[in-house]
Amino acid sequence: AQSVSQHNHHVILSEAASLELGCNYSYGGTVNLFWYVQYPGQHLQLLLKYFSGDPLVKGIKGFEAEFIKSKFSFNLRKPSVQWSDTAEYFCAVSPSGRDDKIIFGKGTRLHILP
């Protein structure tokens, strides 16, 4: 069955530190990949997406993610975090062409110390 695993449930960093949040999925076919962010008290917002092409995807607010097909991974990165990046981050996967089958990871809560 399709699944998404986010390795870190809670991450605490200081401002200006580099960030990498792990995401692995299990599915044998072609997939669409997403990262969402949820700021405190708000709804989920799309941070970036990968459908095909360049495996290094750039999103909003300086975030990027790299799709490594051989590792079934789609890790989220940011070179220098800010206090305003404090939020919960969700990785999501859907098989290409199966719009009804998007699965979310359980989320990683990121806390940035000022």
Partner 1 sequence: DAGITQSPRHKVTETGTPVTLRCHQTENHRYMYWYRQDPGHGLRLIHYSYGVKDTDKGEVSDGYSVSRSKTEDFLLTLESATSSQTSVYFCATPAPEQYFGPGTRLTVT
Nearer to partner 1, 9 or 114 (CB): 9
**Range list of β-strands (E), 27-86:** 31-38, 45-50, 56-58, 64-68, 73-78
Residue in the structure block whose two tokens are 């809560």:
109
Nearer to partner 1, 79 or 106 (CB): 106
Q: How far apart are CA 48 and CA 37, in angstroms?
A: 9
Closest contact distance (angstroms) between CB of 104 and partner 1 is 4
Residue in the structure block whose two tokens are 């459908």:
51
- The binding site for partner 1 (CB under 8 A) comprises 32, 34, 42-46, 49, 51, 90, 92, 94, 96, 99-100, 102, 104-107
Nearer to partner 1, 54 or 100 (CB): 100
Closest contact distance (angstroms) between CB of 99 and partner 1 is 3
Count of CB atoms within 10 A of residue 42's CB? 10
Nearer to partner 1, 100 or 114 (CB): 100
Closest contact distance (angstroms) between CB of 92 and partner 1 is 8
Count of CB atoms within 10 A of residue 28's CB? 8
Closest contact distance (angstroms) between CB of 80 and partner 1 is 27
Q: How far apart are CA 82 and CA 89, in angstroms?
A: 15
